[in-house]
């Protein structure tokens, strides 16, 4: 018997719960050279900011035990160039499109949302891991008040369902999750990368040009699972699980911990075929477990 | 266009101190359209803790038997593991990737400048454009580190060899040897591959002569196919600094535009 | 030329900067069956509480990518039994002894310190990752005020140098570090394990009897390095680096990032000979780098 | 006492469905004092991402050539990798670890009760204490999963075999077979190894007869030598619950004290 892989997120039906995570799928083009992008449940585009960003000084990637540390730094063409040159191609993918939005101030977030409101984009994802320049650079996502203000302002102008992407750098992620929910978030996605660093003992230098970066990959899965478990029990909006998902079983673990859908990030970069493999493996897992509707996994952990 | 393929190790042996040559059968890769300077991005087999692929230039292809040659130096964990792969091992590679060297009908004399393991990718230039006149400037650490010398002797009108320790050819920097030669003869273009200090010296030496040059850049990479923008190097076309992806917008760049 | 491996920590000289981390070396006995414990720079004993603790429900360990999640839960015989039955044997080790102290309330910490004050123990290490029962179970180490109060109270009664061990669960570890320093900490050690979880998709159950636990091992090294780097630049007391140290180069990386000494944890469990190997490798590294005094590494990162 | 040793794989082959037998040369390990029930704690070779050693019972030792036999079932990643190890591979093992089964002169008739891969460690009991009278109760999943049957036939006065699917011996639980036998004959002690549900059933069946029993417990382990207290199981000697380390305070416990 076939497994029904569809999941509903904020009223929209996804083909399956596997979404490509922001920053690991660019705007879909490079992966489309190698795989059928439309088989995915959705794709989250690289973070967009109002202005073009050149990004951080290279090197921007370091390899660590079962993980990677990146410091790309939101390099993106800016929302206007995106709209002019890339949106058309993105719209051709037959999958849910999530525009990930970043900024240095609340106005930045609002500006990007307003420009994307009339497109065929399906969801917004608010990347609140960004430093708030007005507040001395502390990230929106590590402060309850800033997170709430940011989400409220974004919701006020948004015409699309709003996913808020949480950062593990928050001391108490459940508090930020609750704040985002009460400010109107339609869904939460977590986790973004964990602040980290890599050093080359031989040269006595940091490996990254930016000194520090964000850790992702299988190494962070245990941390992400706990956060998804804690957050999904604390809020009533749907949660999207992210962090080190490399296989269908990894995806299943996040769903068991309460996720409605998942995002694979590092996996897409390490193996361009990974997102499709993850879908296939998750389907096979559901079959083995005699689950005919993948939604049955969400929160089904037996504690 | 590049593909993700299952390649097979055919041969893998040491050709100089710390330097190995691996011949791989390329599976479904499209190597007929290979351009010198392109690379293969190879996952480290059997090591789940090492997530990143290792980029290795394709130093030659043989479309008749669908093989490619990779010449690599043991640098760290990944290349050390590569050096111990035995024939028949399957490897996961994305290949051939990148914008390689580019010669038009206008360039007739070409100087090839290579340092260390950067010498390897230059050889295939002579195969791709056999009707040019070539001179090669090859810098090795020393005699024990030299490889492919005969191949360059066969393919180039002139080969000047230097070594750091003087055990082979002239003692000194390959760029100094090039500088002396430039006083006698000026090529239409220089193609180069080697460590950044060599490329910097090259820039200094070429500038006064107004000789154009293309160089192959190295950068730490994550995806190797353009999706992550981790592998960038700075490029300035005159409109301010921009970061370009070494994997698909390079690895070959204009020496006078790239930030070294 | 021989490398001088000695480091000075709060006025006491350690043979070398490699210390066994608390909870991964018990009270030294088991390792002494397999290695010469006295070759270590120091050993941090398993956390001691006033009363005996039976610890958490098993299973207590899960394997994750390049890491482990444990939920031992401070199982220990209590400070009285320790003094009566174990202190004598501990005192025989010719290495610096660090008593790690845990509690559910400030009184707990104070009680343990008072009982150990007259022993030959060299340092106290305050494990402030523990939940404060009076404050609804939030950990002392995640709240500036609670951390300060705890350290001040402990310092007031302590007759030995006081290391305060920080938890990565703090949203802003630098703030807690500063609070601990201003409350009188003589040194800081970081990081403790990262809150985490492991799930068995096949059984749909958490692997740990306690559901959640703490992540350690090579996977956390990039996170720990950044915290050590940030904290050591923010405080003037010495910092002990902890997190995923498996090799001499790992130890060197922490020292480059500002650590005066390091603690290896998971490594001791995975390979009982690891601490000695780490010392040897660190010595060899120093030789290769032409460093004749290992203290030269501390903070020598070239940024 | 246990040591950390470099052991060498001598043989490694499938002996039943999903079940393998590995013979290892034990290096510096002190196997002369081996006690049945003790185990080897083996690091997974070549996999840096898998930090934990895997505990496998030593099913037999041969001090003459310094070898030990390990019988293991493919369960997950580690045992799958074990099953593909080839002779001469070096493995890092801590062995022999644990408090094994313990028989005194008082126990003359011994019933051995094993389920699945738990059957393996029981065989060496008959070697260690050859003068006892043994009966073995062995439960397999089915015919394809059976191993070591001949060895038990040789070593025991009586061997009763059951299988889950009835393809071998009686169909049903090994503990039910034991229950029927207990009505006829009561041993001085029962030694058992197998899955927890089997041990629970064993407890229920033995209770009314007042027969003492020792059981070998499994628990997820980290260090395997007593330093971390992760491997515990609950034990109650009558003074409330205590957690005991399976690695060095077990793996063999009194069936009537251990929490199942
Ligand atoms: C386009 C391109 C072509 C290359 N061609 C060749 C070649 O033909 N022969 C050859 O010997 N080497 C070549 N290199 C360099 C080669 O990729 C590195 O030496 C190799 O990745 C080192 O891996 P490792 O695991 O041995 O070293 P580690 O230091 O253990 O590697 C750790 C990480 O850093 C990366 N890294 C380390 N050094 C470099 C470097 N110099 N460039 C890019 N990434 C690096 C690795 O890929 C890995 O992700 C090329 C690099 C690039 C970018
Ligand atoms: C004292 C003792 C003796 C044992 N003797 C044998 C034996 O002789 N033959 C045999 O086939 N098996 C034996 N086992 C069980 C064996 O250790 C596990 O099947 C094995 O560790 C599974 O590893 P894996 O990587 O294949 O499975 P995975 O599920 O991938 O392992 C993940 C982690 O869980 C642990 N784990 C999983 N299952 C068990 C288990 N049942 N017990 C303990 N840890 C587990 C692993 O060690 C590893 O740390 C014994 C266990 C113990 C505690
Ligand atoms: C190279 C790289 C770039 C990323 N860029 C972004 C980004 O622009 N915006 C964002 O919200 N997250 C970004 N992320 C975070 C991922 O979307 C994801 O949250 C994180 O990597 C954890 O998931 P993973 O372990 O599956 O990679 C990036 C991650 C990587 C590895
Ligand atoms: C099994 C285990 C038990 C631990 N118990 C304690 C403890 O009792 N007290 C404490 O302060 N830290 C404890 N820790 C944390 C370690 O001391 C160390 O901070 C942490 O494991 C990170 O270092 P590592 O990656 O080298 O293991 C424990 C860690 C492990 C793995
Ligand atoms: S390595 Fe990902 S874009 Fe070049
Ligand atoms: S596994 Fe560490 S004490 Fe038993």
* Per-residue pLDDT reduced to its tens digit, B171-214: 999 999 999 999 999 999 999 999 999 999 999 999 999 999 99
- What does DSSP assign to residue D209? G
Locate A202 and state its tokens: 């031989």
What residue numbers bound the domain in which C112 lies? Answer: 7-55+73-195+217-297
The per-residue pLDDT for range D174-219, each reduced to its tens digit, is: 999 999 999 999 999 999 999 999 999 999 999 999 899 999 999 9
Same domain, B226 and B185: no
> Subunits touching B (CB < 8 Å, at least 3 pairs)?
A, C, D
The predicted pLDDT at position B237 comes to 81
Work out the percent of chain B whose per-residue pLDDT is above 90. Answer: 95
Same domain, B224 and B211: no
Residue C260 maps to a domain: yes
Question: Which residue is closest to C256 within chain A, CA to CA?
Answer: A204
The predicted pLDDT at position D11 comes to 97
Domain end residue (candidates: D97, D120, D150): D97
> B49 in contact with D at a CB cutoff of 8 Å?
yes
Could you tell me how many CB contacts below 8 A there are between chain A and chain C? Answer: 136
Chain B partners of D47 at a C-beta cutoff of 8 Å? 48-49
CATH number at residue B41: 2.40.30.10
Mean pLDDT of B113-135: 93
Only one residue has tokens 């052991």, namely D7
Rg of the Cα trace of chain D?
18
Ligand number nearest CA of D119 is: 2
Sequential DSSP letters for chain C: ---B--EEETTEEESSSEEEPTTSSTTSHHHHTTS-GGGSSEEEPPPB-SS-B--PPSP-EEEETTEEEE-----B--HHHIIIIIHHHHHTSSSEEEEEE--SSHHHHHHHHHHHTTSS--EEEEETTSB-GGGTT-BGGG-HHHHHHHHHHHHHH--S-EEEE--TTSSSHHHHHHHHHHTT-SEEEE--PEEEE-EETTTTEESSTTSEEEEESGGGHHHHHHHHHHHHHH-SS-EEEESS--SHHHHHHHHHTT-SEEEE-HHHHH-TTHHHHHHHHHHHHHHHTT-SBGGGGTT----
Q: Which of C197, C221, C285 sits opposite A225 (nearest CB)?
A: C197
Residue A158 maps to a domain: yes
Residue A61 maps to a domain: no
Residue D102 maps to a domain: no
Chain D partners of A65 at a C-beta cutoff of 8 Å? 48-49
The predicted pLDDT at position B240 comes to 85
At residue C127 the predicted structure's pLDDT band, cuts being 50, 70 and 90, is very high
Collect all residues from A whose CB is shorter than 8 A from any CB in D.
65-66, 218
- Does B2 sit within 8 Å of A58, measured CB to CB? no
Number of domains in chain B: 3
CATH number at residue C46: 3.20.20.70
- B81 CA to centre of ligand 1 in angstroms: 13
Residue C207 maps to a domain: no
Q: Name the 3-class secondary structure at A21.
A: coil
Residue D104 maps to a domain: no
Task: Measure the CA–CA gap between C252 and A201, rounded to whole angstroms.
Answer: 6
Structure-derived torsion over alpha carbons of residues D40, D44, D48, D52, reported in degrees to the nearest 10: -40
Burial class (CB within 10 angstroms; exposed 0-12, middle 13-18, buried 19+) of A4: middle
Chain C partners of B49 at a C-beta cutoff of 8 Å? 65-66, 218
pLDDT averaged over chain A? Answer: 96
Q: Which of B4, B230, B241 sits opposite A272 (nearest CB)?
A: B4
Same domain, B120 and B206: yes
Of residues C130, C150, C219, C257, which has the active-site annotation?
C130
Distance, CA of B191 to chain centre: 10
Task: Measure the CA–CA gap between D10 and D32, rounded to whole angstroms.
Answer: 19
Task: Measure the CA–CA gap between A91 and A97, rounded to whole angstroms.
Answer: 8
Same domain, D74 and D155: no
> Subunits touching D (CB < 8 Å, at least 3 pairs)?
A, B, C
Work out the percent of chain C whose per-residue pLDDT is above 90. Answer: 95
Question: Which residue is closest to A218 within chain D, CA to CA?
Answer: D49
Q: Name the 3-class secondary structure at B222.
A: coil
Interface test with A, best of B47, B55, B228 (most A CBs within 10 A): B228
Same domain, D9 and D86: yes
Question: Which residue is closest to B51 within chain C, CA to CA?
Answer: C65
Question: Which residue is closest to A68 within chain B, CA to CA?
Answer: B51
- pLDDT beyond 90 at C272: yes
The per-residue pLDDT for range B70-109, each reduced to its tens digit, is: 999 999 999 999 999 999 999 999 999 999 999 999 999 9
Mean pLDDT of D140-152: 94
Q: Does residue D228 have its Cβ closer than 6 Å to ligand 6?
A: yes
> B48 in contact with A at a CB cutoff of 8 Å?
yes
- pLDDT beyond 80 at A1: no
Residue C19 maps to a domain: yes
The predicted pLDDT at position A173 comes to 96
Range A256-294 burial, b when 16+ CB lie within 10 A, else e: bbbbbbbbbbbbbbbbbebbbbbbebbbebbeebebeeb
Residue A66 maps to a domain: no
Same domain, B183 and B235: no
Same domain, D147 and D240: no
| pTM score of the predicted model | 0.97
- B243 CA to centre of ligand 1 in angstroms: 20
Task: Measure the CA–CA gap between D41 and D245, rounded to whole angstroms.
Answer: 14
At residue B6 the predicted structure's pLDDT band, cuts being 50, 70 and 90, is very high
pLDDT averaged over chain D? Answer: 95
The predicted pLDDT at position D68 comes to 97
> D48 in contact with A at a CB cutoff of 8 Å?
yes
Chain B partners of C218 at a C-beta cutoff of 8 Å? 49
Burial class (CB within 10 angstroms; exposed 0-12, middle 13-18, buried 19+) of C280: middle
Give the gap in angstroms from C-alpha B225 to the nearest C-alpha of chain D. 26
- pLDDT beyond 90 at A136: no
Q: Does residue B66 have its Cβ closer than 6 Å to ligand 3?
A: no
At residue B137 the predicted structure's pLDDT band, cuts being 50, 70 and 90, is very high
- Does B46 sit within 8 Å of D49, measured CB to CB? no
Contacts of B249 (CB under 8 A, 6+ apart): B99, B226
- The residue whose CA is least distant from atom 3 of ligand 3 is A23
Contacts of D130 (CB under 8 A, 6+ apart): none
The predicted pLDDT at position D97 comes to 97
Range A140-150 burial, b when 16+ CB lie within 10 A, else e: bbbbbebbbbb
Task: Measure the CA–CA gap between D162 and D143, rounded to whole angstroms.
Answer: 10
Same domain, D139 and D201: yes
- D61 CA to centre of ligand 6 in angstroms: 24
A146, A135 Cβ separation under 8 angstroms: yes
Same domain, D183 and D226: no
- pLDDT beyond 90 at C248: yes
> D49 in contact with B at a CB cutoff of 8 Å?
yes
Residue B155 maps to a domain: yes
Same domain, B205 and B125: yes
The predicted pLDDT at position A132 comes to 73
- pLDDT beyond 80 at D70: yes
Instruction: Please state, as a whole number, how many other Cβ atoms lie within 10 Å of the Cβ of residue C29.
Output: 15
Residue C239 maps to a domain: yes
At B167, give phi and psi (nearest 5°).
-80, -10
Q: Does residue D79 have its Cβ closer than 6 Å to ligand 2?
A: yes
The predicted pLDDT at position B238 comes to 81
> B51 in contact with C at a CB cutoff of 8 Å?
no
- pLDDT beyond 80 at C211: yes
Give the gap in angstroms from C-alpha A225 to the nearest C-alpha of chain C. 6
- pLDDT beyond 90 at C134: no
Same domain, B46 and B32: yes
Mean pLDDT of A162-181: 96
Chain C partners of D53 at a C-beta cutoff of 8 Å? 270
The predicted pLDDT at position A139 comes to 87
Residue B104 maps to a domain: no
Q: Of C41, C40, C48, which Cα lies nearest the Cα of C23?
A: C48
- Does C60 sit within 8 Å of D231, measured CB to CB? yes
The predicted pLDDT at position C129 comes to 87
Give the gap in angstroms from C-alpha D14 to the nearest C-alpha of chain B. 23
Q: Does residue A228 have its Cβ closer than 6 Å to ligand 3?
A: no
CATH number at residue B244: 2.10.240
Q: Of A261, A254, A252, which Cα lies nearest the Cα of A291?
A: A252
Domain end residue (candidates: D45, D65, D97): D97
Task: Measure the CA–CA gap between D81 and A48, rounded to whole angstroms.
Answer: 44
The per-residue pLDDT for range A272-289, each reduced to its tens digit, is: 999 999 999 999 999 999
Q: Best of B40, B41, B227 to mutate for ligand 5, by most ligand atoms within 8 A of CB?
A: B227
Question: Which residue is closest to C67 within chain B, CA to CA?
Answer: B49
Work out the percent of chain D whose per-residue pLDDT is above 90. Answer: 94
Same domain, D83 and D171: no
What residue numbers bound the domain in which B212 lies? Answer: 109-217
- pLDDT beyond 80 at A135: no
The per-residue pLDDT for range C60-78, each reduced to its tens digit, is: 999 999 999 999 999 999 9
- pLDDT beyond 90 at A56: yes
Locate A99 and state its tokens: 């525009």
Q: Does residue B219 have its Cβ closer than 6 Å to ligand 5?
A: no
> D47 in contact with B at a CB cutoff of 8 Å?
yes
Interface test with C, best of D76, D97, D243 (most C CBs within 10 A): D243
The predicted pLDDT at position D100 comes to 96
D119, D93 Cβ separation under 8 angstroms: no
The predicted pLDDT at position B178 comes to 93
Residue A210 maps to a domain: no
The per-residue pLDDT for range C94-126, each reduced to its tens digit, is: 999 999 999 999 999 999 999 999 999 999 999
Could you tell me how many CB contacts below 8 A there are between chain A and chain D? Answer: 4
Sequential DSSP letters for A248-292: HHHHHHHHHTT-SEEEE-HHHHH-TTHHHHHHHHHHHHHHHTT-S
At residue D69 the predicted structure's pLDDT band, cuts being 50, 70 and 90, is very high
At residue A170 the predicted structure's pLDDT band, cuts being 50, 70 and 90, is very high
The predicted pLDDT at position C132 comes to 73
Number of domains in chain C: 1
Q: Which of B48, B49, B229 sits opposite A55 (nearest CB)?
A: B229
Q: Does residue D247 have its Cβ closer than 6 Å to ligand 6?
A: yes
The predicted pLDDT at position B239 comes to 82
Domain end residue (candidates: D97, D122, D151): D97
Give the gap in angstroms from C-alpha B78 to the nearest C-alpha of chain D. 13
Interface test with B, best of D44, D45, D48 (most B CBs within 10 A): D48
A238, A260 Cβ separation under 8 angstroms: yes
Q: Is A130 a catalytic residue?
A: yes
């Amino acid at each position: 018997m076939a497994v029904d892989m569809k999941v509903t997120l904020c009223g929209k039906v996804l083909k399956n719960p596997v979404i490509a995570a922001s920053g690991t799928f660019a705007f879909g083009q490079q992966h489309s050279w190698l795989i059928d992008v439309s088989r995915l449940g959705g794709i989250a585009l690289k973070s967009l900011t109002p202005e073009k960003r050149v990004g951080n000084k290279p090197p921007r990637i370091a390899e660590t035990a079962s993980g990677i540390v990146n410091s790309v730094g939101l390099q993106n063409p800016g929302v206007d160039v995106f709209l002019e040159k890339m949106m058309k191609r993105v719209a051709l993918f037959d999958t849910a499109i999530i525009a990930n939005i970043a900024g240095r101030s609340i106005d930045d977030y609002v500006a990007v949302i307003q420009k994307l409101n009339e497109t065929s984009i399906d969801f917004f994802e608010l990347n609140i891991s960004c430093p708030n320049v007005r507040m001395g650079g502390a990230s929106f996502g590590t402060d309850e008040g800033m997170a709430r203000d940011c989400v409220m302002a974004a919701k006020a102008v948004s015409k699309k369902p709003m996913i808020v992407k949480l950062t593990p750098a928050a001391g108490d992620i459940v508090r930020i999750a609750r704040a985002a929910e009460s400010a109107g978030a339609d869904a939460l996605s977590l986790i973004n990368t964990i602040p980290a660093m890599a050093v080359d003992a031989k040269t006595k230098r940091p490996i990254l040009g930016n000194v520090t970066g964000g850790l992702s990959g299988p190494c962070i899965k245990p941390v992400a699972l706990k956060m998804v478990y804690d957050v999904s029990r604390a809020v009533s909006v749907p949660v999207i699980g992210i962090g080190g998902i490399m296989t269908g079983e990894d995806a299943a673990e996040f769903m068991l911990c309460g996720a409605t859908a998942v995002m694979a990030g590092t996996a897409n970069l390490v193996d361009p075929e990974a997102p499709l493999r993850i879908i296939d493996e998750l389907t096979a897992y559901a079959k083995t477990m005699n689950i005919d509707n993948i939604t049955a996994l969400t929160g089904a952990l037996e504690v | 266009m590049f593909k993700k393929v299952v390649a097979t190790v055919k041969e893998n042996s040491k050709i100089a101190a710390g330097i190995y040559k691996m011949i791989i059968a390329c599976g479904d890769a499209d190597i007929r359209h290979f351009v010198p300077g392109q690379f293969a991005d190879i996952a480290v087999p059997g090591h789940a803790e090492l997530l990143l692929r290792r980029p290795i230039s394709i130093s030659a292809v043989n479309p008749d038997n669908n093989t490619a040659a990779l010449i690599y130096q043991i640098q760290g964990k990944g290349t050390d593991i590569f050096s111990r792969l035995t024939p028949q091992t399957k490897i996961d590679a994305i290949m051939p990737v990148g914008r390689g060297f580019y010669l038009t009908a206008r360039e007739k004399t070409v100087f090839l400048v290579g340092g260390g393991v950067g010498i390897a990718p230059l050889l295939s230039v002579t195969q791709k454009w056999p009707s040019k006149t070539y001179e090669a400037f090859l810098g090795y650490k020393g005699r024990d580190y030299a490889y492919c010398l005969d191949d360059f002797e066969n393919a180039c009108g002139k080969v000047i060899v230097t070594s750091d320790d003087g055990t082979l050819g002239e003692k000194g920097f390959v760029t100094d040897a090039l500088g002396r030669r430039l006083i006698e003869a000026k090529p239409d273009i220089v193609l180069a591959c080697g460590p950044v200090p060599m490329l910097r010296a090259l820039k200094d030496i070429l500038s006064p002569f107004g000789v154009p040059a293309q160089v192959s850049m190295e950068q730490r990479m994550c995806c190797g196919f353009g999706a992550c923008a981790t592998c960038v190097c700075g490029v300035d076309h005159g409109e301010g600094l921009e970061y370009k992806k070494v994997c698909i917008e390079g690895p070959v760049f204009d020496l006078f535009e790239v930030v070294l």
